[in-house]
């Protein structure tokens, strides 16, 4: 047993998030997508065995290697279970759909190759774009239904139906993880990039598990985007722009929360905590992204993130506002509209930004009320407090409620002293 490791009930959830999707991807490559449930069952049983074994015997010296060894052994055992083999798998095996256990491995390169192959296989035009992304987030990224619902800002039942239809279509169409043609890769790349974008955002602006930031999701999105830049067929300006955006955003992760997990607003962040090496990497990929004439939403968002990391230019908020103006015309979203209003306030002042915010009328959004609370804070404390209180009622995050409550306390103190 390795000393210094957290208790198994703390370590396992972390490993589950980090390794379950990778394990499933390799197993699906082995079994074929038609039998995805088999792959998911083996991966789930592996973690169940870990929870039981580690509770009694302690955490092994190399927990990750232990998990993959168990998964590999369970896969071999699966083929030895004659009843299941004869009744469900034999015909598929004869037809070459499922590989034999020869060459089955969990090497780093095999994990990387399998995940990329998996995401491109799932992002197939047989399903709608939304369904492709939902399924990729669930299978490849290990997202729960709740997390996917948050990413799409839609209802839980809608997501469940999309996932069910998408899985049914994959089974009926007999999909397998295989090498794709250049044309197929190009046709699916936009959906793959959108999936990685949503994966990163769920980490950077998390709405689940009472966490404001989930760094492991951000790291996973960066890792997969980096793989795409290393392949000539997927090393496109859009891919580089997305990776640049992720690097710029990731550079500020350590400064975005305090030791209690509460959000620190951009203006109050300790800039010495920003990761300069990630900013430099962001600059590198941003230059690569601008090598042609292509302009995507990722280019504009990367540009906005770039200016956020630049503290020397006096006109940086003007640059940011101009980029938001372009972005909102290219792809409108409520979040973009609210972020644009914040930038507008930085350029023209909070008082002028209030009408811009109020005409958005996003009264069911806690972020909308947080924005108005911020804008009213210096002009009308009572209104600011009212909006912060509405934001508290609308948010599900315990950490966010604590942050907003502190802001209300600050304003009340300011009011009583004034």
Residue 11: inside a domain:
yes
pLDDT, one tens digit per residue, over 268-291 is: 888 889 999 999 999 999 999 998
CB-based contacts of 276-280 (< 8 A; 24+ apart in sequence)? 276/251, 278/247, 278/248, 278/250, 278/251, 279/247, 279/248, 279/251, 279/309
Helix axes 316-330, 297-308, angle to 10 degrees: 160
Give the confidence band of 5 by pLDDT, cuts at 50, 70, 90: very low
DSSP state of 348: H
Give the confidence band of 338 by pLDDT, cuts at 50, 70, 90: very high
Q: Which of 85-89, 170-174, 348-352 has the highest mean pLDDT?
A: 348-352
pLDDT, one tens digit per residue, over 321-332 is: 999 999 999 999
Q: What is the mean pLDDT of residues 354-373?
A: 95
Q: Domain end: 74, 98, 122, which one?
A: 98
Residue 47: inside a domain:
yes
Residue 387: inside a domain:
no
Residue-level pLDDT at 372: 97
Average pLDDT taken over every residue of the chain:
81
Q: What is the mean pLDDT of residues 346-365?
A: 95
The answer, yes or no, to whether residue 219 has pLDDT greater than 90, is no
Asked if 245 contacts 301 with a C-beta cutoff of 8 angstroms, the reply is yes
The answer, yes or no, to whether residue 105 has pLDDT greater than 70, is no
Q: Domain end: 65, 98, 131, which one?
A: 98
CA distance 222 to 218: 6
Residue 20: inside a domain:
yes
Residue 142: inside a domain:
no
Residue-level pLDDT at 97: 47
Q: 361: which residues sit within 8 A by CB, 6+ positions away?
A: none
Range of lowest pLDDT (2-11, 192-201, 221-230): 2-11
CA distance 324 to 339: 8
| Counts for the chain of helices (H) and strands (E), in that order | 20, 0
Tell which residue, 183, 144, 170, 198, has the closest CA to residue 17: 144
Asked if 98 contacts 35 with a C-beta cutoff of 8 angstroms, the reply is yes
Helix%, strand%, coil% for the chain, nearest 5: 70, 0, 25
- The CB-side HSE value for 74 (13 A sphere, CA atoms) comes to 22
Residue-level pLDDT at 79: 66
The answer, yes or no, to whether residue 346 has pLDDT greater than 70, is yes
Q: What is the mean pLDDT of residues 391-401?
A: 87
Residue-level pLDDT at 147: 78
Residue-level pLDDT at 143: 74
Q: What's the total number of domains in the chain?
A: 2
Residue-level pLDDT at 217: 78
- Identify the burial level of 367 via C-beta atoms within 10 angstroms of its C-beta, where 0-12 means exposed, 13-18 middle and 19 or more buried: middle
The answer, yes or no, to whether residue 232 has pLDDT greater than 60, is yes
More confident residue, 329 or 122: 329
Residue 82: inside a domain:
yes
| SS3 label, residue 53 | helix
Q: What is the mean pLDDT of residues 129-146?
A: 77
Give the confidence band of 229 by pLDDT, cuts at 50, 70, 90: very high
Residue 181: inside a domain:
no
Q: What is the mean pLDDT of residues 5-24?
A: 69
Residue-level pLDDT at 82: 41
Q: What is the mean pLDDT of residues 238-248?
A: 97
Give the confidence band of 351 by pLDDT, cuts at 50, 70, 90: very high
Helices (H), 349-380: 350-358, 366-376
Q: 104: which residues sit within 8 A by CB, 6+ positions away?
A: 30, 72, 75, 76
Place of tokens 């038609």: 34
Tell which residue, 90, 71, 69, 68, has the closest CA to residue 79: 90
Asked if 255 contacts 269 with a C-beta cutoff of 8 angstroms, the reply is yes
**Tokens in use for 135?**
């399924």
Residue-level pLDDT at 17: 66
Residue 69: inside a domain:
yes
pLDDT, one tens digit per residue, over 140-197 is: 667 778 878 877 767 888 888 888 888 887 777 655 556 667 888 888 899 889 888 9
- With a pLDDT cut of 70, the percent of the chain lying above it is 80
The answer, yes or no, to whether residue 9 has pLDDT greater than 50, is yes
Q: What is the mean pLDDT of residues 288-315?
A: 90
Tell me which residue range forms the domain holding 29: 1-98
Residue-level pLDDT at 278: 94
Q: What is the mean pLDDT of residues 257-263?
A: 76
Residue-level pLDDT at 400: 84
Give the confidence band of 30 by pLDDT, cuts at 50, 70, 90: low
CA distance 336 to 113: 34
Q: Residue 257 forms beta bridges with which residues?
A: 263
The answer, yes or no, to whether residue 309 has pLDDT greater than 60, is yes
Q: Domain end: 262, 283, 311, which one?
A: 311
pLDDT, one tens digit per residue, over 37-85 is: 777 788 888 888 888 888 888 888 888 888 888 888 887 777 676 445 5
């Amino acid at each position: 047993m390795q000393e210094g490791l957290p208790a198994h009930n703390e370590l396992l959830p972390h490993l589950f998030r980090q390794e379950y999707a990778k394990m499933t991807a390799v197993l699906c490559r082995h079994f074929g997508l038609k039998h995805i449930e088999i792959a998911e069952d083996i991966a789930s049983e592996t973690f169940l065995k870990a929870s039981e074994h580690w509770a009694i015997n302690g955490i092994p010296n190399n927990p990750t290697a232990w998990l993959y060894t168990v998964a590999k052994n369970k896969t071999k055992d699966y083929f030895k279970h004659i009843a299941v083999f004869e009744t469900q798998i034999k015909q598929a095996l004869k037809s070459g759909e499922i590989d034999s256990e020869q060459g089955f491995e969990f090497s780093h390169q095999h994990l990387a190759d399998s995940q990329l192959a998996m995401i491109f296989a799932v992002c197939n035009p047989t399903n709608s774009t939304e369904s492709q992304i939902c399924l990729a987030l669930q299978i490849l990224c290990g997202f729960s239904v709740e997390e996917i619902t948050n990413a799409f800002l839609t209802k839980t039942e809608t997501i469940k139906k999309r996932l069910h239809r998408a899985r049914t279509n994959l089974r009926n169409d007999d999909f397998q993880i295989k090498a794709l043609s250049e044309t197929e890769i190009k046709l699916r790349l936009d959906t793959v990039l959108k999936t990685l974008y949503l994966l990163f955002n769920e980490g950077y602006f998390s709405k689940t598990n009472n966490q404001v930031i989930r760094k492991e999701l951000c790291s996973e999105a960066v890792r997969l985007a980096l793989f795409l830049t290393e392949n000539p067929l997927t090393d496109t300006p859009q891919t580089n722009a997305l990776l640049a955006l992720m690097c710029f955003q990731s550079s500020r992760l350590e400064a975005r929360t305090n030791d209690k997990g509460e959000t620190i607003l951009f203006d109050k962040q300790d800039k010495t905590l920003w990761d300069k090496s990630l900013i430099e990497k962001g600059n590198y990929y941003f230059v690569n992204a601008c090598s042609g004439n292509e302009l995507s939403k990722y280019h504009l968002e990367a540009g906005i993130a770039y200016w956020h990391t630049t503290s020397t230019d006096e006109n940086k908020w003007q640059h940011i506002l101009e980029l938001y103006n372009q972005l909102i015309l290219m792809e409108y979203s409520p979040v973009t509209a609210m972020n644009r209003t914040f930038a507008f306030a930085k350029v023209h002042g909070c008082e002028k930004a209030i009408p811009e915010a109020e005409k958005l009328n996003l009264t069911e959004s806690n972020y909308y009320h947080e924005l108005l609370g911020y804008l009213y804070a210096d002009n009308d404390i009572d209104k600011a407090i009212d909006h912060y209180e509405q934001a508290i009622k609308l948010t599900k995050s315990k950490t966010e409620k604590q942050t907003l409550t502190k802001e209300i306390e600050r304003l009340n103190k300011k009011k009583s002293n004034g």
